[in-house]
Homo-oligomer: A and B are copies of this chain.
Amino acid sequence: MAEPIPIRGGDAPEESRRPGRKSSGPYLYAALRDLIVRAELPPGERLSETELGDRLGVSRTPVREALGRLRDDRLVEVRPQIGTFVARISPAAVSDAQFIRESLECTAVRVSAELADEESMAQIEENLRAQERAVGRTDIDSWQLLDDTFHRHLCDLSGHPAVWPVNERAKTHINRLRRLSLTMPDYLSTMVDAHRAVADAVGAHDPDSAEAVLREHLRAVLREVPRIREQHPDYFEEP
């Protein structure tokens, strides 16, 4: 494992890497977070700041900035003078993340159902069609991106743009789990069906229904935990 890290979406940091420009920290943060979510950096993996810097073509300084944020997200564990490790999946952390996500998204979708306008619903409809196409191609990567966009649209519709970043950071723990469970093909179309049901309720300005359907949809993922834990016991915490 000494190869340069293949960055999703092309290796385009050449521009942002030059000094005197904008910080490359946020870029590295997003890239590393993606690698962790996709389990290309598996739970328990040791991360050397110097090695990461070499493989990413930057020095330790911006790498440390990214790792600091990942530590705030509890995605990596930094033990001084010992090392930095990709955090193992903690069922408690997943449960907490689920709690946060459910609280924020369900509250937001209630407001969104009241504020929904034609233009926003058209955007969401377009997203749903793209999801269906991705599922038709069994293109999990594309679908997961569209899924994120869908939920972000629902959130932003509430008129509180700061909510999504918070939700996203919590959601990462859930995405990490889901990444391991997205193997069954009919699972995907079930998700898209649920999305459409939520969108319909929002478009119909029905907060109660929207919240109920969304809550059920969000909890579906969590039910996969025991199965995944059996398949990848080494990805989970000891307790």
The minimal Cβ–Cβ distance linking A170 to chain B, given in whole angstroms, is 7
Instruction: Determine if A80 and B22 form an interchain contact, defined as CB atoms under 8 angstroms apart.
Output: yes
**If A100-B104, A104-B103 touch, does A170 touch B160 (CB 8 Å cutoff)?**
no
Residues of B within 8 A of A64 (CB): 65
**If A69-B72, A104-B104 touch, does A96 touch B25 (CB 8 Å cutoff)?**
no
A167 nearest CB neighbor, chain B only: B100
Residue A166 CB within 8 A of the other chain: yes
Residue A93 CB within 8 A of the other chain: yes
Question: Assembly of this chain: how many copies?
Answer: 2
Residue A185 CB within 8 A of the other chain: no
Residues of B within 8 A of A161 (CB): 92, 96
**If A100-B104, A103-B107 touch, does A162 touch B93 (CB 8 Å cutoff)?**
yes
Instruction: Determine if B162 and A97 form an interchain contact, defined as CB atoms under 8 angstroms apart.
Output: yes
Q: Mark A193-229, 1 if CB is under 8 A from B, else 0.
A: 0000000000000000000000000000000000000
Residue A163 CB within 8 A of the other chain: yes
Assembly CA distance A166 to B72 (angstroms): 10
